[in-house]
Structures are given as C-alpha cells and as structure tokens.
Amino acid sequence: MTSKNKTGFTRRDLLTMIGKTAGGAAMYQAMSSLGFATESHYSGPPKLEGARKGATVLVLGAGLAGMVAALELRNAGYKVRILEFSQRAGGRCWSVRGGDTVRELGGAVQRCEFAPGEYFNPGPWRIPYHHHGVLDYCHRLGVALEPFIQVNYNAYVHSSKAYGGKPQRYRHVQADFHGHVAELLSKAAGQGNLDASVSKEDKEKLLEGLRRWGALDSEHRYREGTITSDRRGYEVDPGGGLMPLAKPSKPLDPSELIQSGLWRYIASGQDYEFQSSIFQPVGGMDMIAKAFTKQVGDLIRYQAKVTKIEQNERGVTVTFADLARGGAIEQAKADWCVCTIPLSVLSQIDIQVGNEMQAAINAVPYGSSIKVGLQFKRRFWEQDDSIYGGITYTDLPISRISYPSTRYGAKGKAVVLGAYIFEGPNSFEFGAMAPQERVRRAVEFGNQIHPQYAGEFDSGVSVAWYRVPGQHGCYGMWTDSTRQQHYKNLCQVDNRIVLAGEHTSYIPAWQEGAILSSLDAIQRLHARALA
Amino acid sequence: MTSKNKTGFTRRDLLTMIGKTAGGAAMYQAMSSLGFATESHYSGPPKLEGARKGATVLVLGAGLAGMVAALELRNAGYKVRILEFSQRAGGRCWSVRGGDTVRELGGAVQRCEFAPGEYFNPGPWRIPYHHHGVLDYCHRLGVALEPFIQVNYNAYVHSSKAYGGKPQRYRHVQADFHGHVAELLSKAAGQGNLDASVSKEDKEKLLEGLRRWGALDSEHRYREGTITSDRRGYEVDPGGGLMPLAKPSKPLDPSELIQSGLWRYIASGQDYEFQSSIFQPVGGMDMIAKAFTKQVGDLIRYQAKVTKIEQNERGVTVTFADLARGGAIEQAKADWCVCTIPLSVLSQIDIQVGNEMQAAINAVPYGSSIKVGLQFKRRFWEQDDSIYGGITYTDLPISRISYPSTRYGAKGKAVVLGAYIFEGPNSFEFGAMAPQERVRRAVEFGNQIHPQYAGEFDSGVSVAWYRVPGQHGCYGMWTDSTRQQHYKNLCQVDNRIVLAGEHTSYIPAWQEGAILSSLDAIQRLHARALA
C-alpha cells in the first residue's frame, strides 16, 4: 500500500514523515487535509529504531500479534525469540486441510479428509477493506487476496417458522422489503403525514428517490411487473430468439414478509465490518500465518507450554514445559516480554504483574463459537442453485451456510462452512457433542435448506473454540463495563511485560485487532526500553 | 454446471432427459418441482443430432453468437464455415492490451500502451450469476472467472451540483438514506399514520425491522453514534491497545442528502443485472472469445467482408470481399446460413430475405456508447483511498469510474475504466472528438474526483462503438413499439437463413442475449433442415 511512484513520495510516506517529526496529532490533521482515509490508526508499520545493543525480547505466542511483534522488533534491532504452545504458528489464523489432525480438549481427535486444495477456516475468514493493517501486511508479505462474497442475492434467507420452512431468495426478501417500505413512506408523504418533518421541496425529491430506490411504479406502488422484476428477478427470464416471453415475478405478501422476520438478514452486508470490498487470502486464511512464518519462523520454539512468567529489575524469566520432550521444564530469559497468550489461558498461568493487570486478565470471558466445515461430492449449490459464494442465513442452530468464494465452476469435491454457531446456548449444546456428531447435525439441519445435502455429503470437520488446546475460547468478550474497569489496565506496559492480541483491542475477534494491538504495544515497549 | 456425481444424474441431466422425451412444458414443471432455478431458458447446450450427411452451414460473424452456432452445429454433424469481417474473433467480446492497434471509422488510429497483463474491455465487462449460458460455456471451455466488484461501499458517489462538488463515500449516502427513510417511516407509524395500510401486529414487527435495517436507536432515531457508525463507518475507527478511542461519524444532513440526488446511485447494485455474485473472466473478457476460438478457430475465414447474401431452394450464396487480398471478390455457398452480423451493418448489405424481415433489419437503431480505458502509474485508488475494485458514480460526462477487480494490492501500473458514456448527447460529443482528446477529457473530469489523476496518468485508449469497423454501434436499441412490430419477423427462419446475436434477443447488449439467441436460432434451423 506504500509503493513509490516516479514522482516521489506516496501520501503514506509523507504521513509517516509527518508522524515522526511532528507527532500523532499533526499526522491526523495532515491525513484529513490530504483526503486520506482518516478513520484508520494504521499508516504503515512502525519505524522503530535504535534498540539498545544486545537487548532481547521474548514473545509468547506465535499468532499474528506475536509474529508482528517479532518481525518489527527484530527489524528494530532486538534479539527476539518466540515460544509457541502448539506445533503450528498462526494461532486462530488457521485453515484445516485434508490430512490434518484436529485434537480437542477432552481427547477427541478428528482426521480431516478434505480433497487436495480444499480447506476450511475455523477462525477468521474475512478481511474488510478498512482493516488496513492486515491488508498492508498481506501486500508486503506477498499474500494474494481474492474477494470474499459476503452478499449473494441468489443465496437464501431461511426461517423454520415462516413460509412453511421454505427458504426464500435473498433478492426477493430485500427487494420486497425495500419496495414495501418505499411504498408505505410514499403513501404517508402523499397524505401529508410527513409535513412536519420534511419540507415541500424535500418531499418531492424524496418521492423521486423512493420511487427509484424502491422500484415503485409511476404511482408509487410496488407491484408485480418489469420494474420490480428488474430488481427481484423474473419468474421466467428474458430470453433469446423465439424462446417463451419473459414473465414477471410476484412480490411476497407484505404482511407475511414482515411477520417472517427474514428482513433481519438483509442488513448484515451493509455493516461496516462486512461491506464490500471484503477479501480472503487465496488458498486459506492461514496463508497470512505462513507468510509471517516465512519471516520469523526461525525465531519460533514450538511445543513450549508456558507455566510461569516472572520479572524483576533486570529482566523477564519465562518457565515452560517442552512438550516435545515429555514436558521437561526449561526457562527462557529476556530483557522484555510481549505476551500474546489468550486471556482464557493466561488467566490460568502464574504471571508476575500488578494487581490491576491481573484483575483485568481474569475479567474477560471468552467466546464459545463453533464452526463446521462440510465437504460435498460436488458444488450442487452452483450447479443446481446458481449460488456462487456468499452466505445463506437461517434461524436453525447452524445459523448460516457459507459457500466457497473461490474456484467457481470447478468440478469435484468442495467445502462449505456448514455451521457458524456464534455464542449462545446452541454453541454449548454443539460443543458438548462429539465432533462427528456436530458434523452429522450440521448436515441434518442444512438438509432443510439444501435437500441435496443428504446425498452429496462426503466428510466434515468441526472446531469448538473453547475446546481448542492453547485457546480455550474464540475471542475476548468485552462489555462496556469490563472495558471501563479493566481495558487500560490490561494494555499498560507492566514494567517489562506488555500484552497484545485481539483481546487488547477494540476490534475483538478480528485479525486487525491483533495486529493494531501488537503495533501499539511494541511501540510503547520500545519507548520504555529506550527511556 | 452439469458435472456428474457418483450417485448418478445431476438435476440438469434429468431435466435434459425430461425435455427431450416429454417436451418443454414438462421440463419447466420438473424444473420447478426440483427447486431448480426456474427462471432460465438455459439448461445446457442443445442436444442437436442427426444432421443430414454432407449438410453445410455458413456462419456470418465470429462473435459469440457465431462461434456458439459453429460449435454446436459442427457437433450436430454439419460442415461449418465462418466468415469474419475483422482480423480477430469475438466481436464485441473484446479486450484491448498493450501493443494492440485500435482503428476507427474516420481513420483515427490508436496504439495501446498498457503495461503487460493490463487490459480494458470496451464491450461487455460483467457476467451476472443468472446468465447461465455464458457461465456454462465458461465452465465447459475452461474460462476462469473471478468476482467483479459491482458495489464498493468505499467508492464514491459524486454530483458536481452537491456538497460543493466533493465526492461522498457510497457507504455514507446509502446508510444515511436508509436511516432517514427508516426514521421517517417509523415516525409515521408511531403517529398512527400507517394504520389504514398496516395491521397492529405488522406495525410492531415493521418497527423492529426498520430499527434493525435502518440502524436506528432504541427510540427509532437515526443519530450520530456507534449504531450508525457500525453501518456508515467511524470518524476514527476502533483501534488496538491504547490508540486514541474510536470516534463516531456524523450522518449527512437529511435535507442536503435528499436534495443531492446521490441516492440515485445506491440502487444500481440491487438491479437484477448487477447483483452479486457477478463475474469477469480472469485476464480480460476476451478470454471467452479466445476459448471459443480454440474450439472453432479452424473454421474461421478472417477479413471477409460480406457484401451480398442470396438464397434459393438449393442453398445460400454469400459474396464477400477478401480484405487480405485487396478486396478480391469471392463467393461461399452452403445449404444453410446463420447470420450474426449486427443490424447496423446488415441493414447496409444486400440480403435476400422477405419484406418483413428486411423491414425488421432496418428498424433497429444502435447504441452509441463510448468507453475510455486509462492507465495510471500506480493504484492510487487502493493505496491512498482504500478503494479495491467497484465503481464510482458521477453526474460528469464520464458517468463512472470502475477500478480493476483483480490483482488487488499489486505494484506498478494499472488500468481503470475512466469513462462509460452510455448513450445520450455526451456520447455524440465524445464520439466526435479524436480518440486522444476523449482520453484527455476523461482525465480532466476524473481529476475532479481523484486529484491524483493529473500526476499519475500514464496513457489511455478510447472506443466509440459507432466508429468501430464492422460494428457501427454498441447494441440493438429496441423499444416496446419496435419489438411489437418487428421482433418476431427478425427472428423467424427465412427459408435457409436465420439471424442471431444480442439484437435477436430480449437481453440486448449482454453476451447472454447473443448466446441464447444463437442456441434458439440453430435449434429452429436444425429442425427446418431435418423437415
């Protein structure tokens, strides 16, 4: 994102320079007057320089926060080592592929049987356009991105309590909801009911806007015909030559639509976090982890289970068990420590920090999300239903089905996200099942939406985050009240230790939170080290 | 789209079988009861069989309609030849690349100087998910597809007459329009003004729906705060660690927004033709033409300018000038003829058809669209403005700017669609200019939206469709009245000749129209040939 052009500096270069010489406030002002995306805290990786000769840093956890810290601190001149609990770097930036083994707390073991090239992301799966930190590291480290289809007008929205359980097309529900809203408001305006709120001049323009936006006819009605079918699609599409003539489709009954509650699903693509453009790495989310590992893999010690973190005036001592050698106890020492261990785990580790930080570490419960990846024998959603990527929403426990945003039209097996159980009682019910039982249930529920499920199912994998060793949960669940009481205390540099990860950010559960938190933490740690 | 699975037939196979044995009506019924996309006329390529031994077909024009006809008729057993006016197959399915020469009627010559890998599609540039014919041929012929970003929430909508000419982010206009509409309707409902139209039970649900969909607060107001910022974006985004706190953004003033007219741009992504998922071939639209050429290239005679089309009881005789040999006159004969020459050109050729078809040929004027491709030194729209793909809309003559939906984050030069002048006076004004003057003007106008234009511009190419040799226009512009009077007459098999192309379809200007029209035409011609 900061490539030079022939004429000299990019605006990012300029901003970085301003930031370095005149400080943050001046930089924000400059960003604004340059018309730059003022909203982001990210303006390129930090320019850390001048680490004291021989200064050392121990990074705990080789997820994105840990690897960003290691990369940038090494660039700044520190000697860096990373201790990682598992046999794999990336943490929740993870893709499961054929041949992988997935182990759970409780002992269950799954062996993934996906076809070559197929994968499933149990953790993060999307990168919004305004997650500048993630995008910039992807660009710098050569991670190829492709669009993630968030909104698919031909996918389904489904309620087991509406339309006799028959899934409706997203485009029908959205067009008809918009249309009915536009018609109702036009009617209210026409009857003079908005006169207190809307001026005469604005009313005229508003009516014009509603007509266009809502696909209304010249009398401001949302009615079966080509105007509405050019929005919601046709019963029979226009064709070529002497094929049968097009036939408009019939809008859903307004009352039934409103009662169905299906409108709840049509706003989600409009959320800031899900708006287009939104991306995924080509080949799986862990391509980001792999790209970081290429940079800092030489610093990582795997299968190191941290059991104690101590510090004094001279440095930090971390005690860990070497799981590769039967749990043999070792110690690692450094001048400074960046600890990215999830609070769900860190709260169970003896760490020598102040009372306030310890209270903060203990205060944040973790999410219990569950995902299920299902492989089918063929892409029936494309071949039979013309659904290419995107998400079907349902009130069934599986919550949604997300179709692959890649290799469109490919023959052979393919993997969908068959359940994304985001918190709530269902996540505990599913979490209590054996992994293959979760898969079986996901197929059973999904079959209510795609009757092809039963015949086309091939194999599946499920991940219940609170059962993942080294994670014990999906992400830090802050509330306004815990933020108020604990957030700052959690983020302070405590003598020689600073925490980082999505849990020390205002963007929980997103990789951007982990990266921004890490960049912020190491800048403050570096300042402390130079002080 | 018809790949077999282990369990046997796909639904498409089943439908094809039903169609062949029980006819079209039964097939439609079956499609419906199978839950299939009932709306399409396309259910796989036609199963033509049993051409009379030695029967010959002459196809005029090697665009998509012509090549589809050639491919399927040859498969059916016909001996096929294609006469093509230009030196290139594909017709309007065309991509211009560095090194290409673009000649215009009137003599102007442009030499394209785009960087390797960069291209610009002067003609079709998108493939909707319901264009089943195009998609199926892409899948069959191995054309890789990637998502086309139609809606980009971070792109701009721009009116030279609103907001002092300052472009607004798409997401701000959409969120605020939705929000204000939801608030107004909620207010009207709250005041009992909808009681005649909406029952008490529905009103309650409607209010809930409006609140959620419109990002209203608990009192049904659309106000500055986190609820609206989670939709329209923040003034300062949430960050990590101890970065400055998030700052909500301020909604646009309702009256100013309504008066701006910018709402006109936020519905276009909801149109059936532009809804996601929507695709483009990887590497340029002409990858489709190239894939067809791989199949039927051996049948094509290039630089053959048709001057006369005659027929009698025994066959068809086509007279053409061989432009490669100074216009030497030749004749080609066949039993049957599929003529895909655009009506803009065909109306100037002596063709022996009935009066009604001749009247139809003469009745359809052609579109005058113009496109301009602009290469810049770097992807400033990505690097500076975080716009990855998608379209900026403006009331300036350039009408829109479309950013590349590919190679996101790449370094170096890149090409945008810098103007898409769709009909109207501007298209004639631009068409009258020298090609490089059009480019200069596109840069000048675009600079009002992206001030980087002036400094980053590298080179450009423009295509005015009514100046393209062999095309003389962009697409057949039907009206209800010309359809009524002429369409059927245009599509009939006239003894041994049938016409095909987007102009003989109800999907004008789209490749799907050309393909469906061709499939319909050859099926009727084949039936005639067997009769």
Question: Which of A126-130, A223-227, B112-116, B429-433 has the lowest average pLDDT?
Answer: B429-433
Angle at CA of residue B267, ends B262 and B271, nearest 5°? 150
- Please give the average per-residue pLDDT across A126-133, as a whole number: 97
Please report residues of B whose CB lies closer than 8 A to that of A501. none
State the Cα–Cα distance between residues A199 and A191, nearest whole angstrom.
14
For B164, the 3-state DSSP assignment is: helix
> CA dist B319 to B86, B308, B351, Å?
16, 5, 10
Please answer whether residues B139 and B1 qualify as being in contact, where contact means their C-beta atoms are separated by less than 8 angstroms: yes
> What's the pLDDT at B66?
98
> What's the pLDDT at A36?
45
Q: Examine the domain organization and report whether B357 and B374 are in the same domain.
A: no
Domain of A249: which CATH number?
Answer: 1.20.1440.240
Do you know the residue count of chain A? 531
State the Cα–Cα distance between residues A319 and A415, nearest whole angstrom.
41
Dihedral class, residue B50 (left if φ above 0, else alpha if ψ from -120 to 50, else beta): left
Q: Which residue of A has its CA nearest to B41?
A: A239
Find which of B386, B406, B494, B512 to mutate to test the A interface (most A CBs within 10 Å of its CB). B386
B377 → closest Cβ in A6, A201, A245: A6
> What's the pLDDT at B408?
97
**Has residue B348 been placed in a domain?**
yes
**Has residue B35 been placed in a domain?**
no
**Has residue A271 been placed in a domain?**
no
What is the Cβ-side half-sphere exposure of residue A290, based on CA atoms within 13 angstroms?
12
> What does the H/E/C string look like for B339-399?
ECCCHHHHCCCEECCCHHHHHHHHHCCECCCEEEEEEECCCHHHHCCCCCCEEEEECCCCC
> What's the pLDDT at A493?
98
Which residue among B467, B501, B517 closes a domain?
B467
User: Residue B17: pLDDT above 80?
Assistant: no
Domain of B393: which CATH number?
Answer: 3.90.660.10
Dihedral class, residue A54 (left if φ above 0, else alpha if ψ from -120 to 50, else beta): left
Question: Which of A26-30, A202-206, A248-252 has the lowest average pLDDT?
Answer: A26-30
How much is the mean pLDDT over chain A? Answer: 93
- Please give the average per-residue pLDDT across B392-397, as a whole number: 98
Q: Examine the domain organization and report whether B453 and B397 are in the same domain.
A: yes
User: Residue B344: pLDDT above 60?
Assistant: yes
> What's the pLDDT at A424?
84
How much is the mean pLDDT over chain B? Answer: 93
Alpha helices, DSSP H only, in A333-467? Answer: 343-346, 355-363, 380-383, 424-431, 435-446, 453-456
Q: Cβ of A506 and B240 within 8 Å?
A: yes
Please answer whether residues B281 and B119 qualify as being in contact, where contact means their C-beta atoms are separated by less than 8 angstroms: no
A505 → closest Cβ in B38, B240, B524: B240
Q: Examine the domain organization and report whether A295 and A194 are in the same domain.
A: no
Q: Which domain holds residue B247?
A: 170-260
Q: Cβ of A212 and B267 within 8 Å?
A: yes
How far from chain centre, in Å, is Cα B421? 14
The closest alpha carbon to A89, from A284, A303, A349, belongs to A303
User: Residue B31: pLDDT above 90?
Assistant: no
The order of strands in the sheet holding A79-83 is A300-301, A79-83, A56-60, A336-339, A497-499
User: Residue B11: pLDDT above 60?
Assistant: no
Q: Give the containing element (helix H, strand E) for B89.
A: none
User: Residue B30: pLDDT above 60?
Assistant: no
**Has residue B9 been placed in a domain?**
no
Per-residue pLDDT band at B40 (split at 50, 70, 90):
confident
State the Cα–Cα distance between residues A277 and A128, nearest whole angstrom.
7
A241 → closest Cβ in B7, B244, B504: B504
User: Residue A24: pLDDT above 60?
Assistant: no
Per-residue pLDDT band at A31 (split at 50, 70, 90):
very low
**Has residue B37 been placed in a domain?**
no
3-state DSSP helix/strand/coil percent for chain A, to nearest 5? 40, 20, 40
Q: Examine the domain organization and report whether B482 and B357 are in the same domain.
A: yes
- Please give the average per-residue pLDDT across B58-83, as a whole number: 98
Please report residues of B whose CB lies closer than 8 A to that of A187. 194, 197
Greatest alpha-carbon pair distance for chain A in Å reads: 87
- State residue B58 phi and psi, 5-degree precision: -105, 125
Q: What is the pLDDT of residues A364-408, one digit of tens each?
A: 999 999 999 999 999 999 999 999 999 999 999 999 999 999 999
Q: Examine the domain organization and report whether B347 and B395 are in the same domain.
A: no
Which residue among B443, B467, B491 closes a domain?
B467
Angle at CA of residue A255, ends A253 and A260, nearest 5°? 95
Q: Examine the domain organization and report whether A425 and A392 are in the same domain.
A: yes
State the Cα–Cα distance between residues B2 and A56, nearest whole angstrom.
60
Domain of B485: which CATH number?
Answer: 3.50.50.60
Smallest CA–CA distance, residue B38 to chain A, in Å, is 7
Question: Which of B3-7, B55-59, B419-423, B454-458 has the lowest average pLDDT?
Answer: B3-7
Please report residues of B whose CB lies closer than 8 A to that of A199. 255
Please report residues of B whose CB lies closer than 8 A to that of A193. 188, 191, 193
DSSP state for residue A335 in the 8-state scheme: S
DSSP state for residue B245 in the 8-state scheme: P
> CA dist A275 to A151, A269, B96, B179, B316, Å?
9, 5, 31, 16, 56
Please answer whether residues B115 and B413 qualify as being in contact, where contact means their C-beta atoms are separated by less than 8 angstroms: yes
Alpha helices, DSSP H only, in B226-351? Answer: 226-232, 254-260, 286-296, 343-346
Q: Which residue of B has its CA nearest to A182?
A: B181
Q: Cβ of B205 and A261 within 8 Å?
A: yes
Q: What is the pLDDT of residues B197-252, one digit of tens each?
A: 999 999 999 999 999 999 999 999 999 999 999 999 999 999 999 999 999 999 99
Please answer whether residues A103 and A109 qualify as being in contact, where contact means their C-beta atoms are separated by less than 8 angstroms: yes
Please report residues of A whose CB lies closer than 8 A to that of B456. 5, 7
Which comes out higher in pLDDT, residue A40 or A197? A197
B470, amino acid identity: G
Q: What is the pLDDT of residues B258-303, one digit of tens each?
A: 999 999 999 989 999 999 999 999 999 999 999 999 999 999 999 9
**Has residue A163 been placed in a domain?**
no
**Has residue B267 been placed in a domain?**
no
What the block records as the tokens of B373 is 């491709």
State the Cα–Cα distance between residues A187 and A193, nearest whole angstrom.
9
Find which of B184, B234, B260, B375 to mutate to test the A interface (most A CBs within 10 Å of its CB). B184
- Count A/B contacts: CB-CB distance under 8 Å: 372
B390 → closest Cβ in A237, A242, A277: A277
State the Cα–Cα distance between residues A48 and A57, nearest whole angstrom.
14
Strands (E) in A41-193, as ranges, are 56-60, 79-83, 96-97, 101-103, 109-111, 119-120, 127-128, 145-147, 156-158, 168-169
Q: Examine the domain organization and report whether A377 and A347 are in the same domain.
A: no
Please report residues of B whose CB lies closer than 8 A to that of A41. 236-237, 239-240, 243-244
Q: Examine the domain organization and report whether A10 and A141 are in the same domain.
A: no
Q: What is the pLDDT of residues A418-467, one digit of tens each?
A: 999 987 889 899 999 999 999 999 999 999 999 999 999 999 999 999 99
Q: Which residue of B has its CA nearest to A505?
A: B240
The pTM assigned to this predicted structure is: 0.93
Smallest CA–CA distance, residue B231 to chain A, in Å, is 5
State the Cα–Cα distance between residues A333 and A310, nearest whole angstrom.
9
- State residue B443 phi and psi, 5-degree precision: -65, -40
User: Residue B339: pLDDT above 90?
Assistant: yes
Q: Examine the domain organization and report whether A280 and A380 are in the same domain.
A: yes
The closest alpha carbon to A298, from A54, A66, A85, A80, belongs to A80
Q: Cβ of B209 and A258 within 8 Å?
A: yes
- Please give the average per-residue pLDDT across B152-167, as a whole number: 98
**Has residue B48 been placed in a domain?**
no
Q: Cβ of B507 and A239 within 8 Å?
A: yes
Q: What is the pLDDT of residues A293-348, one digit of tens each?
A: 999 999 999 999 999 999 999 999 999 999 999 999 999 999 999 999 999 999 99
Q: Examine the domain organization and report whether B361 and B412 are in the same domain.
A: no
Do you know the residue count of chain B? 531
> What's the pLDDT at B1?
32
B7 → closest Cβ in A7, A276, A455: A455
Count: domains in chain B: 3
Q: Examine the domain organization and report whether B79 and B103 are in the same domain.
A: no
User: Residue A160: pLDDT above 50?
Assistant: yes
Smallest CA–CA distance, residue A508 to chain B, in Å, is 9
Whether the predicted interface score ipTM is above 0.90: yes
User: Residue B34: pLDDT above 80?
Assistant: no
Greatest alpha-carbon pair distance for chain B in Å reads: 87
Please answer whether residues A526 and A335 qualify as being in contact, where contact means their C-beta atoms are separated by less than 8 angstroms: no
Q: Examine the domain organization and report whether A280 and A295 are in the same domain.
A: no
Q: Which distant-in-sequence residues (6+ apart) come within 8 Å of A412 by Cβ? A: A115, A378, B3
